[in-house]
Amino acid sequence: MVHRMLRVDHAGEYGANRIYAGQMAVLGRSKTGPFIQEMWDQEKKHLEKFNEILAENRVRPTALLPFWNIAGFVLGASSALLGKEGAMACTVAVEESITEHYNSQIRTLMEKDPERYTELLQVIKEFRDDEMEHHDTGLAHDAENVPGYWLLKNAIQLGCKAAIYVSQRI
Amino acid sequence: MAALLRGLRAGRALRGLSSVVAAPTATNPQCGSLRRGFRCAGLRLQDESKSDKPPSSTSSSTTYHEHYQARSAEQDTAASASDPAVDQSTDPNTSYQDQSGEQDEEYETEEQLQARILTAALEFVPLHGWSMEAIAAGAESLGLSSASTGMFEKGSGDLVLHFIAQCNAQLMEILAEQHNQVQLGQAEPKKTADFIRDAVETRLRMYIPYIETWPQAMSLLLLPHNIPDSLKHLSTLMDDIWYYAGDRSTDMNWYTKRAALTGIYNTTELVMIQDSSPDYQDTWAFLDNRIQDVVNMATTAKQVQSTGEAVVQGLMGAAVTLKNLTGLNQRR
């Protein structure tokens, strides 16, 4: 069970990395560039940490990584093509999904055996706080002003849920 | 067979703490062997009840060896060597009491019993092949009825899978030991290709005593009801070998490495079963060549990638030069 959790978390951070990479490719030289870069750097640190954890625990990474590579980049780039608000809306949607996902993992681990998983719980809590910060940054930068915000946000969140489900198993 | 076990378990539970002493004593190990054998075959299924007993760690590895006729000599020495201070009265289900006063450990799970029978059956494989006859002969050599072969639903596939699991466990011990030696600085770490080569050779050499009948075993593993288990054993084996070889990748390399090693291992196994050279030299030469192929492929892949990157850089440079020449780069 822990292996599945670690696998999907690793896939999530990998996907988030690619999303920011896509957004930077389009908006890198605009005024929002530095903000996106900062969030991207934090995601890179998250991914590094999960790489370590996976190697330590001998967890198999998801076989869909090449797919998330392309899909993440495409999502980031296409949301950025809608303008800065589009990119921020994508960030808000993804970070909200990830926060919810980490919260449910924290609940599961706390129910199971908090003492055994203290270190993992701490890592997940810290990352969840970072992701919430990204979410708030996105909102602060006019995410809600994109036309079709509700539709875009829900579509992206549905995609995230599907990605989480699949990455746990494959 | 399962119903018989349950019936016996119910009967035993009713007897409770009765003083039926069945432990073989040092002076009379042969007494009542048939009854004990029958009782051994009728062990209760173990689940959480075992965790209630305070574990006797010194004897845990020999738990199911105690009380059995086949191992009475071993047990006598083990019993006298182990700590007699373990309190027995905490377990109200104990029917048998060991002479040393040790916690009763004869509650063997069905898996443990099956494992013992299959291990004993391996001796008869050269004679009977990988078949129910071998399992029956193994059961009989332990003093059990040959009807206990009914426990094995997958038939002779169970025997092959058990053997494979045993070989994998042995290999893991060897690799873990080598790993420790390297950690302690007592041995030099091997290069990856050499490590893989040695690990595969060690593992395949475990088949040598059974090499005559191994084709039969391989075909048994291909039967549909055996495939999930044999694939599971194979994938665990590949993962373990790569882990000890130092692989800590968390991207697609995880998959490509294991797939490559599976290819190497399976083809080498096939070469081995029809190899008649002294000490299987041809097989090890084949193994060397396959590993070299994979190493070459990896090197080539790296070269292709760096060439590709260099080409892209070159094209970008050419594009910028063109833009400069045509004046498109200037801000007006």
* pLDDT tens-digit series, residues B301-317: 999 999 999 999 999 99
Asked if residue A144 belongs to a known ligand binding site, the reply is: no
For chain B, the 3-state helix, strand and coil shares in percent, each to the nearest 5, are 65, 0, 35
**What pLDDT digit, counting tens, does each position of A100-110 carry?**
999 999 999 99
Q: What is the mean pLDDT of residues A125-137?
A: 93
**What pLDDT digit, counting tens, does each position of B171-209 carry?**
999 999 999 999 888 888 888 899 999 999 999 999 999
Q: What is the mean pLDDT of residues B270-288?
A: 94
CB distance A58–B252 less than 8 Å? Answer: no
- Weakest mean pLDDT among A122-126, B52-56, B139-143, B228-232: B52-56
Radius of gyration of chain A (CA): 15
Terminal C-alpha separation, chain A? 14
**Residue B1 — very low, low, confident or very high, per pLDDT cuts 50/70/90?**
low
Average pLDDT, chain B: 77
CB distance A60–B248 less than 8 Å? Answer: no
Q: Output DSSP code: residue A22.
A: H
Asked if residue A95 belongs to a known ligand binding site, the reply is: yes
Q: What is the mean pLDDT of residues B7-19?
A: 51
**What pLDDT digit, counting tens, does each position of B233-261 carry?**
999 999 999 999 999 999 999 999 999 99
* Rounded alpha-carbon distances, angstroms, from residue B184 to A162, B124, B170, B172, B180: 46, 41, 21, 18, 6
Distance from CA of B238 to the nearest CA of A (A): 12
Chain A interface, best mutation among B232, B242, B250, B252, by max A CB count within 10 A: B250
How far is residue B75's CA from residue A170's CA, in Å, rounded to a whole number? 48
Provide the whole-model pTM: 0.72
Interface membership of A65 toward B (CB under 8 Å):
yes
Report whether pLDDT(B52) > 60: no
Terminal C-alpha separation, chain B? 92
Q: How much is the pLDDT for B190?
A: 86
**Residue B2 — very low, low, confident or very high, per pLDDT cuts 50/70/90?**
low
Q: Is the ipTM of this complex over 0.90?
A: no
Report whether pLDDT(B66) > 80: no
Taking contacts as CB-CB distances below 8 angstroms, the residues of chain A near B248 are: 55
